[in-house]
């Protein structure tokens, strides 16, 4: 089984940016979980309505199938919010989650930093008004790699690679 790293956190924390850099460094394919959302979810978020768990289950289930396939291949890096523990568990089948916990990379960021980032971001379907709902939903993992985003992307990547190689 190959490793699938999941770069997680609230919208705007840098999951895609860091995930792409990590994937390039590790010579792995990169995927963004947002690309797997059904159109109904995208429309809902774009209209300013937060997703409910029932909106997320089919999306998470399709991601779980992809992760299983990537794991049996060369591995991958996936940018995915994975805000709740139950969402992270849903990404893996049965006992695979216990082994995969070490492969989660949580990008830690405070509300003010992310709010400023989202205010300047263009051409993304996520409505910045939903940010508070993400922090309300967030269950910070007690496992895996945790990195503060209050530093350069190069330093974030360096910190992640140190943890992976340790």
Domain that holds residue 28: 4-110+125-160
User: What is the Cα–Cα distance from 51 to 57, expressed in whole angstroms?
Assistant: 10
Note whether residue 37 is domain-resident: yes
Note whether residue 14 is domain-resident: yes
pTM, rounded to two decimals:
0.89
Tokens for 159, please give them: 């910190």
Note whether residue 32 is domain-resident: yes
Three-state SS string over 79-134 comes to: ECCCCCHHHHHHCCCCCHHHHHHHHEEEEECCHHHHHHHHHHCCCCCCCHHHHHHH
Please give the tally of structural domains in the chain: 1
Note whether residue 116 is domain-resident: no
- Residue pair 112/12 in contact by the 8 Å Cβ criterion: no
Note whether residue 165 is domain-resident: no
Note whether residue 30 is domain-resident: yes
Task: List pLDDT tens digits, range 100-153.
Answer: 999 999 999 988 877 776 666 555 445 556 678 888 889 999 999 999 999 999
Q: Strands of 145-148's sheet, edge to edge?
A: 30-32, 76-79, 4-8, 104-108, 145-148
Task: List pLDDT tens digits, range 42-60.
Answer: 888 778 787 889 999 999 9
What's the CATH number where 97 sits?
A: 3.40.50.300
Q: How many CA atoms lie within 13 A of 104 on its CB side?
A: 27
Note whether residue 115 is domain-resident: no
Q: What percent of the chain has pLDDT over 70?
A: 91
Note whether residue 90 is domain-resident: yes
């Amino acid at each position: 089984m190959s490793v699938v790293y999941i770069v997680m956190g609230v919208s705007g924390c840098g999951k895609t940016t860091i995930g792409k850099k990590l994937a390039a460094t590790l010579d792995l394919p990169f995927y963004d979980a947002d690309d797997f959302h059904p159109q109904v979810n995208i429309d809902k978020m774009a209209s300013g309505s937060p997703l409910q768990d029932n909106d997320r289950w089919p999306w998470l289930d399709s991601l779980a199938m992809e992760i299983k396939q990537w794991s049996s291949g060369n591995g991958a890096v996936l940018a995915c919010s994975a805000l709740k523990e139950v969402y992270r568990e849903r990404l893996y089948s049965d006992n695979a989650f216990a082994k995969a916990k070490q492969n989660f990379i949580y990008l830690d960021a405070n509300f003010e930093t992310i709010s400023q980032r989202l205010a300047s971001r263009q051409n993304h379907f996520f409505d910045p008004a939903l940010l508070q709902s993400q922090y309300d939903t967030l269950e910070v993992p007690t496992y895996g790699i945790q990195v503060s985003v209050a530093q350069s992307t190069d330093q974030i990547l360096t910190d992640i690679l140190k943890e992976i190689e340790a």
